[in-house]
Structure 1
Amino acid sequence: MIKNAVLVINCGSSSLKFSLIEPTSGNILAAGVAERLLSKHGFIKINYQGNKESTPLAVPFDHQVAVNFIVEFLRQHDLVDCLSAVGHRLVHGGEEYSTPTLIDDVVKYSIKKLSKLAPLHNPVNLIGVNAAQQAFPHLPQVAVFDTAFHQSMPTKAYIYGLPYNLYKDHGIRRYGFHGTSHYYVGKQAAKLLGKPFAQTSVITAHLGNGCSITAIDNGKSVDTSMGLTPLEGVVMGTRSGDLDPGIIFHLIEQLNYTPEQVSNLLNKDSGLLGISEMSNDCRTIEEAIINEQDQRANLTMDIFCYRIAKTIASYMASLSHFDGLVFTGGIGENSDLVRTRIVNSLHLLNIQLDETQNIEVRFGKSGLISTATSQNCWVIPTNEEQVIAEQTYQLIAGGK
């Protein structure tokens, strides 16, 4: 019987994803997601041994109830005894955490303090930690931080053009996110190249409802598009990405927006949703382009892809050499249209797509989608849960 499985928990404001993973083989023993937490219509979906079940719960369904349901499921299927640890996705680790970390009261206090840098994420991540500690008091709990991989960025890449004391006294700097995803697909690209990761230099594009681009030089993150918060960077599903900061003052002083309204506008009502006035879902926008020849949808896609291509091209200044481009994330893995439009703006980088391969490599497939004479371009499905499981197990195994 497996004895070293890791329960990976990714806790959001109204959802909780989990995976039970055997870290050395990568086998997923069970996985699921609890959705609509804190409502009267919460439910949990679990995939186990090829069977998918969805269970509605009629009571207000919080994170502790979700963890308790998962614990009971594991007990019913004799899976509790195979657990060696619980690994948690934590969004913001600031400058304090650049490696996976055993969670104790000191670490929890630090995560709570860092909530000022990630008020939408760290507090609910802590809810998941507390719920898991209550459910599994005998197991080590490990934090794996989204920001950790980017702690290798040079100072010139993360300091803003602001008075230096704002960084020194208040930690205002670029931190970056999606670190486990960029790390995972970067390592996979190195394997495809047959090179050590420490000698691999690629640009990774994680494109989903949240999007970030990262320059990886010789195995280390040297620049990334998200900043102090996940709002900075390219256009995303509902986030604006980069804009003139003067727009914020104009909204407040001339259009009478409150700070809260500005925050909602930039984080929840902008991006693909705001430009298209249709949807934040890339699939909906693509359908409008293909089936309806919708001009606004077409413009939205052009803006989205151009900003990504411009960021990719700018990262040539960050690399010692260029081994290729990686697409990942829900959009990056599945939208051949998005990949085509991005790469069409990158001719000066000598990237051309094989049209057939570009169409065929999707829905969980991994592969090279560039032509024989082109710089490498891959689609590599991300697996953040695998990274969390591996790093959690490595930490606890090293401590034994």
Structure 2
Amino acid sequence: MSTPILLLNCGSSSIKYQVIDVDTEAVVASGIIQRIGEESGSLDHKLDGETVHVDRGFPNHSRALNYLVRVFSAHGPELDTIRAVGHRTVHGGERFRSTVVIDDEVLEGLRELSPLAPLHNPPGIAGIEAAREALPDVPHVAIFDTAFFATLPREAYTYAIDTETARAHGIRKYGFHGTSHSYVSKKVAEILGRDYAELNQIVCHLGNGASISAIRGGVAVDTSMGLTPLAGLVMGTRSGDVDPGLHAFLGRELGLDLAGVDNLLNKKSGMLGLSGVTDFRDLLELIHDGDEAAELALDVYCHRLLSYIGSYLAVLGRVDVLTFTAGVGENNPVVRAKVVNRLAALGFVLDEQANQARSKDPRVISTPDSPVTVMVVPTNEELAMAREAKAAIS
């Protein structure tokens, strides 16, 4: 049996895509369209180990997706085999708590939610509209980054601000990277041969964007990102948690308007603001060369992560598994060691040799006698999305 699903991740100036056969879990094709809206753009389409590269301008998402249809027709896979199109959708607010098949009513709901994610939802909507126009004969499905965290208890998602203001404008913690946290936590249970509903887990999704979750018996009970993806851990260019009074301070002292503060905290902060780099390989090279700013950046990064792990230990009461995933989590043994070794007194015992081993496979990096199992599990958000899409159309 074959169930190919086309998955689209539309950013403001790019479209990443994959075709995954859900039944075999094989990636049939993948690619990216870049610099949409600029004079010079590009498309890279990968199929059967070969890459088709095209340099041309794409004035908007609609034209980009129409051209992608032509590329599929010329090079494969055949679009008439596609069973559904899955769209990564960043913010579902309180309205969309699970994957939904897209219709005009859903699209209108997404437009109403755009103020909650002004950098992410509008390009996603543009991609959905363009894809529905280019591929009108298959169902389109929205998979929400926020859906996995719809289970958060009220005490975890409620902000201590005026209740009427919060209710009127949907101001609360939503959480993001939910597809990754869901996939990884389920994969942990599968690898360990344990019942998902019996495990208490902490999952650290550490990429350019970073978040951490507390999952009790398969149910998310807390997470670090909030109303927006800016909250929580230190990230590549995002500050994560800061004193809320910083916004007013920057306005008074630097004359920044709200857009300027937003730009500073989202695009010029985090590891970039602290060290000048976002790639942890570059960061470790700077540290090796004696760069004190880079060393401090790593310490700040790990301190923030430790603080969240500690708080989630308290929230959960018992932790069975701590898992690292995404680019930094999967590939950086230095970060893992700095964090886990600081947790030794709490029952986390790192196997140094296992931690240093290079592998793309899921693996345990704690010692056999460690009270808490520590793992590295590569995330696969696209496969998780494909499964969600198949379930929605079924």
Please say if residues 92 and 122 of structure 1, whose CA atoms lie closer than 8 Å, have aligned partners that are also in contact. yes
Task: Compare 43-52 and 128-137 and name the one that shifted more.
Answer: 43-52
- d(CA) in 1 for partners of 2:293 and 2:3? 51
1:298 aligns with 2:295: yes
1:150-193: CA deviations, max 9, x gaps? 00000000001111112221110000000000000000011122
Which residue of 46, 60, 63 corresponds with 1:62?
A: 60
- d(CA) in 2 for partners of 1:126 and 1:36? 18
- d(CA) in 2 for partners of 1:111 and 1:224? 23
Could you say which residue in structure 1 is the equivalent of 2:308?
311
Query: How far apart are 1:294 and its partner, in Å?
Result: 1.3
1:377-392 to 2 correspondences below 5 Å: 377-392=374-389
- Give the 3 Å change call, closer, same or farther, for CA 110–296 of structure 1 in structure 2: same
- d(CA) in 2 for partners of 1:207 and 1:272? 12
Could you say which residue in structure 2 is the equivalent of 1:32?
31
1:287 aligns with 2:285: yes
The two structures have a TM-score, normalised by structure 1, of 0.95
Query: How far apart are 1:281 and its partner, in Å?
Result: 2.1
Which residue of 344, 355, 369 corresponds with 2:365?
A: 369
Counterpart of 1:365 in structure 2: which amino acid?
Answer: D
Query: How far apart are 1:366 and its partner, in Å?
Result: 1.8
Could you say which residue in structure 2 is the equivalent of 1:214?
213
Please say if residues 24 and 390 of structure 1, whose CA atoms lie closer than 8 Å, have aligned partners that are also in contact. no
Could you say which residue in structure 2 is the equivalent of 1:254?
253
SS of 2:126's equivalent in the other structure is helix
Please say if residues 3 and 84 of structure 1, whose CA atoms lie closer than 8 Å, have aligned partners that are also in contact. no
- d(CA) in 1 for partners of 2:132 and 2:20? 19
Query: How far apart are 1:255 and its partner, in Å?
Result: 2.5
- d(CA) in 2 for partners of 1:47 and 1:187? 29
- d(CA) in 1 for partners of 2:66 and 2:350? 48
Please say if residues 210 and 237 of structure 1, whose CA atoms lie closer than 8 Å, have aligned partners that are also in contact. yes
- d(CA) in 2 for partners of 1:17 and 1:78? 16
Task: Compare 187-196 and 343-352 and name the one that shifted more.
Answer: 343-352
Please say if residues 190 and 196 of structure 1, whose CA atoms lie closer than 8 Å, have aligned partners that are also in contact. yes
Counterpart of 1:305 in structure 2: which amino acid?
Answer: C
SS of 1:236's equivalent in the other structure is coil
Task: Compare 197-206 and 64-73 and name the one that shifted more.
Answer: 64-73
Query: How far apart are 1:373 and its partner, in Å?
Result: 1.9
Please say if residues 35 and 58 of structure 2, whose CA atoms lie closer than 8 Å, have aligned partners that are also in contact. no
1:195 aligns with 2:194: yes
1:235-250 to 2 correspondences below 5 Å: 235-250=234-249
1:1-400 to 2 correspondences below 5 Å: 3-57=2-56, 59-76=57-74, 77-276=76-275, 278-290=276-288, 292-362=289-359, 364-374=360-370, 375-397=372-394
SS of 1:344's equivalent in the other structure is helix
Counterpart of 2:281 in structure 1: which amino acid?
Answer: R
Query: How far apart are 1:308 and its partner, in Å?
Result: 0.7
- d(CA) in 2 for partners of 1:21 and 1:268? 32
- d(CA) in 2 for partners of 1:366 and 1:72? 37
SS of 2:83's equivalent in the other structure is strand
1:124-147: CA deviations, max 9, x gaps? 001110111011101100000000
Please say if residues 2 and 23 of structure 2, whose CA atoms lie closer than 8 Å, have aligned partners that are also in contact. no
Runs of 4+ residues deviating >4 angstroms: none
- Give the 3 Å change call, closer, same or farther, for CA 361–319 of structure 1 in structure 2: farther
Kindly report the root-mean-square deviation, in angstroms, between the aligned alpha carbons of the 2 structures: 1.4
- Unmatched tracts of structure 1, length 5 or more: none
The two structures have a TM-score, normalised by structure 2, of 0.96
Counterpart of 2:341 in structure 1: which amino acid?
Answer: N
Counterpart of 1:249 in structure 2: which amino acid?
Answer: A
Please say if residues 6 and 21 of structure 1, whose CA atoms lie closer than 8 Å, have aligned partners that are also in contact. yes
Query: How far apart are 1:61 and its partner, in Å?
Result: 4.5
Task: Compare 203-212 and 343-352 and name the one that shifted more.
Answer: 343-352
SS of 1:280's equivalent in the other structure is coil
Counterpart of 2:143 in structure 1: which amino acid?
Answer: V
Please say if residues 2 and 22 of structure 2, whose CA atoms lie closer than 8 Å, have aligned partners that are also in contact. no
1:35-59: CA deviations, max 9, x gaps? 22211231112221112333221x2
- d(CA) in 1 for partners of 2:231 and 2:177? 13
- d(CA) in 2 for partners of 1:359 and 1:62? 45
Counterpart of 2:224 in structure 1: which amino acid?
Answer: S
Percent identity over paired residues: 43
- Give the 3 Å change call, closer, same or farther, for CA 269–385 of structure 1 in structure 2: same
- Give the 3 Å change call, closer, same or farther, for CA 361–155 of structure 1 in structure 2: farther
- Give the 3 Å change call, closer, same or farther, for CA 78–117 of structure 1 in structure 2: closer
Counterpart of 1:368 in structure 2: which amino acid?
Answer: V
- Give the 3 Å change call, closer, same or farther, for CA 134–344 of structure 1 in structure 2: same
Counterpart of 1:282 in structure 2: which amino acid?
Answer: F
Please say if residues 173 and 226 of structure 2, whose CA atoms lie closer than 8 Å, have aligned partners that are also in contact. yes
Counterpart of 2:67 in structure 1: which amino acid?
Answer: F
Task: Compare 141-150 and 254-263 and name the one that shifted more.
Answer: 254-263
- Unmatched tracts of structure 2, length 5 or more: none
